[in-house]
Amino acid sequence: FDAIGVLTSGGDAPAMNAAIRAVVRTALNIGIKVYGIHRGYSGLITDDMRRMSSSSVSNIIQRGGTILKSDRCEAFKEAPTRRRAAEILKQNGIQALVAIGGDGTLTGAHLFTEESGIPVVGLPGSIDNDIYGTDDSIGFDTAVNTAIGAIDRIRDTALSHERLFLVEVMGRNSGFIATQVGIACGAEMILIPEHPTVVESIGYTLVSNRKAGRGSSGIIVVAEGPEPGLTGRLADQLRFFGEEARVCILGHIQRGGSPTGHDRVLASCMGITAVNYLLADYSDIMIGSDGRQLMPVPLQDVIKYRKHDPRLYKIALQLHK
């Protein structure tokens, strides 16, 4: 290749910058030009891209967010828009693409390469860790640790005032953040969309815990779920059981911040690997991790299957009082 492009799209995640840096430096070191495409797929169709130098990615490994900016670009879901994007890439002499983002971004990447023939390698960038084909995604570890820090503080108040807190963590349709955070914070209960729990069961458990003298303070970690307002409604319903729970929604606090060492290293390794696979003539793949090594995963599998891992949830259940 003479030149490649790199973009970040969808929800931003800590250590996306570390991945950008690794892609840029790996390519430049072997004589390939790199264009940073701004605002995800929006920048592809508006020709908003700039040549990157090694120093343009200096001092970003420790920063959250993404220096390339991110966007949700509805128009990219239409084939004619993707055709226009391919034309613009060709006009700029860009022959391949690294796309960093969640499953939406990877879906777009798959369609784009399938239709245009322009090679694309995806990297899993998502705090939710809900991407099939990888045990770990860029930003997940940071988000988990941010939520743990917040819940440890809430626990102090819960204990001092003997209160029950419902703490909502991010994760849209998936309970990966909630499960990890719940285990790490010693939560009394973890509620995730993969294991729907009826409110009566939650209420009766709390009531029987209180009767058994297990105290009325505690933390219930709730995954945000597909519909907003879930945690507030749950608090209202628990009043029928005599449980007065406080609600704390961690929200976007979990998205930003300086990435953990783990995420910086993961993103750096994935960035290097993405460029190496492009050079080895791979396309239409995502770089996945099994916790020990990185491997290519066909994008069509990544976007076809739903990720589900009941192991950790079972571990969490074993640790309840």
Residues serving a catalytic function are 128
Tell me the C-alpha to C-alpha distance, in Å, between residue 300 and each of 83, 85, 155.
20, 21, 43
Q: Shortest Cβ distance from residue 232 to ligand ADP (Å)?
A: 25
Q: Which is nearer to ligand ADP, 118 or 199 (CB)?
A: 118
Binders of ligand ADP in range 238-267 (CB under 6 A): none
Q: Which is nearer to ligand ADP, 9 or 209 (CB)?
A: 9
> Which one among 9, 142, 180, 254 touches ligand ADP, defined by CB under 6 A?
9
> Which one among 7, 8, 11, 94 touches ligand ADP, defined by CB under 6 A?
11
Binders of ligand ADP in range 59-118 (CB under 6 A): 72-73, 76-77, 101-105, 107-108, 111
Burial of 107 (0-12, 13-18, 19+ CB in 10 A): buried
Distance CA(246)–CA(196), nearest Å, equals: 21
Q: Shortest Cβ distance from residue 162 to ligand ADP (Å)?
A: 39
Binding flag, residue 124, ligand ADP (CB under 6 A): no
Q: Which is nearer to ligand ADP, 37 or 164 (CB)?
A: 37
Q: Which is nearer to ligand ADP, 77 or 153 (CB)?
A: 77
Q: Considering only CA atoms, which of 41, 50, 52 is closest in space to residue 116?
A: 41
Helices (H), the chain: 16-29, 41-45, 79-91, 103-116, 140-160, 176-184, 199-211, 230-238, 261-279, 299-304, 310-318
Number of residues that bind ligand ADP (CB under 6 A): 17
Burial of 227 (0-12, 13-18, 19+ CB in 10 A): exposed
User: CB–CB of 131/307 below 8 Å?
Assistant: yes
Tell me the C-alpha to C-alpha distance, in Å, between residue 299 and each of 120, 197, 207.
10, 33, 47
255 is in an annotated binding site: yes
194 is in an annotated binding site: no
Buried b (16+ CB within 10 A) or exposed e, 165-174: bbbbbbbbeb
Binders of ligand ADP in range 274-303 (CB under 6 A): none
269 is in an annotated binding site: no
292 is in an annotated binding site: no
182 is in an annotated binding site: no
53 is in an annotated binding site: no
Q: Which is nearer to ligand ADP, 108 or 182 (CB)?
A: 108
65 is in an annotated binding site: no
What is the DSSP-derived secondary structure letter of residue 173? T
| Backbone φ, ψ for residue 247 (5° rounding) | -105, 135
Q: Shortest Cβ distance from residue 10 to ligand ADP (Å)?
A: 2
What is the DSSP-derived secondary structure letter of residue 57? G
Which residues lie below 8 Å from residue 183, measured CB to CB, with a gap of 6+?
190, 312, 315, 316, 319
Report residue 214 as tokens: 């297990």
Q: Which is nearer to ligand ADP, 25 or 255 (CB)?
A: 255
Binding flag, residue 12, ligand ADP (CB under 6 A): no
> Which one among 126, 137, 209, 273 touches ligand ADP, defined by CB under 6 A?
126
Binding flag, residue 44, ligand ADP (CB under 6 A): no
Q: Which residues are annotated as a binding site?
A: 11, 21-25, 72-73, 102-105, 126-128, 155, 163, 170-172, 186-188, 224, 246, 252-255
Residue ranges in contact with ligand ADP by CB under 6 A: 9-11, 41, 72-73, 76-77, 101-105, 107-108, 111, 126
